[in-house]
């Protein structure tokens, strides 16, 4: 059982989606995350073990390598695809409640901003680390974040902004969320924002990369 979980972690780390996927070249012709996850479930490995001891181990390594500039966006996207292939087999267990995730993370790019590449990387990395992710997309208004958060008590909100002109909207959204529920945790990120801005607008956490937000969520969940 440990062997197949290690193989699945490897597939996520190196972006091996399925047997026919030519990437990475040194794993050509080998089973990928898709086939191995099905085999593991058939052999009786639980969805939780698959997520926590397989997929998440691989995704954590991806997050660290990305933070250290050892891999780049294309490799992260391949890893995310490998993870999604595996998650397709696990989702039914999580959505019917027979298996549990670590928490709910609601993410969106703030009102007025259409950039979503960084947000999508954060979503994938957080999902790969065991959280349910509700992605509200781009150009998201405060009311939408608040309405979604009220459906998921204990959820954490993530805001992304790539334009200096949408930073004031980020501030407006954080303030609206906090006015409605001061205990709601809000994380922010995106190229123009920093720790100083985070402190100024009253958000709970700023991280320059997806791994940072995973670590913040893990701390809250522990
Ligand atoms: C791709 C791109 C676009 C694409 C977006 C496509 C898409 N689906 O996202 C398109 C062409 C649509 C676009 C449009 C515009 N863009 Co543009 N765009 C870019 C570009 C080239 C790359 C951005 C990107 O994806 N980076 C890669 C990702 C991985 O990085 P990231 O987003 O920073 O995310 C990382 C971290 O910041 C962090 N992160 C991100 N979000 C979050 C959230 C949380 C919670 C956490 C913890 C972390 C986190 O994690 C990510 C991974 O490490 C940048 C320039 C650049 N090189 O950065 C300009 C740039 C952002 N754009 C810019 C501009 C001006 C525009 C336009 C106004 C252009 C125009 N005149 O129409 C429009 C605005 C449209 C709108 N309303 O949003 C400017 C912004 C300048 C400024 N200071 O505000 C930039 C900097 C270009 C420039 N040098 O002028 N753009």
The CATH number linked to 129 is: 3.40.50.280
Average pLDDT, the chain: 94
The candidate with the shortest Cα–Cα distance to 106, out of 72, 153, 67, is: 153
- The CA 8 to ligand 1 mean position distance, Å, reads 32
Atom 39 in ligand 1: which residue has the minimum CA distance? 190
Do 217 and 128 share a structural domain?
yes
> What distance lies between CA 75 and its chain's CA centroid?
15
User: Does the pLDDT of residue 1 top 80, yes or no?
Assistant: no
Q: What is the DSSP letter of 54?
A: I
Q: In sequence order, which residues have a C-beta less than 8 Å from that of residue 218 and are 6 or more positions away?
A: 102, 129
Of 22-26, 75-79, 97-101, give the lowest mean pLDDT range: 97-101
Would you say 82 and 36 are in contact if contact means Cβ atoms under 8 Å apart?
A: no
Do 126 and 91 share a structural domain?
no
Domain of residue 56, CATH code = 1.10.1240.10
Atom 81 in ligand 1: which residue has the minimum CA distance? 163
* Mutual angle of helices 33-42 and 73-95, in 10-degree steps: 30
- What's the domain count of the chain? 2
User: Does the pLDDT of residue 93 top 90, yes or no?
Assistant: no
Do 16 and 80 share a structural domain?
yes
Q: Model's pTM, two decimal places?
A: 0.89
CA distance 204 to 155: 13
| Boundaries of domain holding 134 | 104-221
Do 211 and 119 share a structural domain?
yes
CA distance 125 to 73: 12
Which of 118, 123, 198 to mutate for ligand 1's pocket (most ligand atoms within 8 Å of CB)?
Answer: 118
Atom 11 in ligand 1: which residue has the minimum CA distance? 115
- The CA 163 to ligand 1 mean position distance, Å, reads 7
**Final residue in a domain of this structure, among 95, 120, 139:** 95
**Final residue in a domain of this structure, among 67, 95, 123:** 95
- Residue 60 burial (CB count, 10 A): 21
Do 109 and 193 share a structural domain?
yes
- The CA 17 to ligand 1 mean position distance, Å, reads 28
Model confidence pLDDT, tens digit, residues 193-217: 999 999 999 999 999 989 999 999 9
Atom 6 in ligand 1: which residue has the minimum CA distance? 115
CA distance 64 to 128: 13
């Amino acid at each position: 059982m440990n062997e197949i979980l290690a193989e699945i972690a490897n597939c996520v780390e190196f972006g091996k989606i399925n047997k026919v996927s030519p990437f990475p070249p040194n794993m050509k012709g080998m089973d990928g995350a898709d086939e191995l996850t099905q085999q593991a479930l058939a052999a009786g490995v639980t969805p939780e073990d698959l997520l926590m001891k397989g997929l998440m181990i691989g995704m954590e390594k991806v997050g660290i390598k990305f933070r250290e500039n050892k891999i780049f966006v294309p490799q992260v996207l391949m890893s995310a695809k490998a993870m999604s292939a595996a998650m397709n087999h696990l989702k039914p267990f999580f959505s019917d409640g027979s298996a549990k995730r670590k928490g709910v993370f609601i993410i969106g790019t703030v009102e007025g901003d259409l950039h979503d590449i960084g947000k999508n990387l954060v979503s994938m990395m957080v999902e790969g680390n065991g959280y349910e992710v509700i992605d509200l997309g781009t150009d998201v208004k405060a009311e939408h974040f608040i309405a979604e958060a009220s459906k998921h008590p204990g959820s954490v909100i993530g805001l992304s902004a790539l334009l200096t002109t949408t930073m004031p909207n980020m501030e407006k959204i954080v303030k609206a969320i906090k006015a409605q529920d001061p205990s709601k945790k809000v994380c922010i990120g995106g190229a123009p924002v920093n720790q100083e801005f985070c402190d100024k607008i009253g958000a709970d956490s700023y991280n320059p990369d997806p791994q940072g937000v995973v670590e913040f969520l893990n701390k809250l969940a522990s």
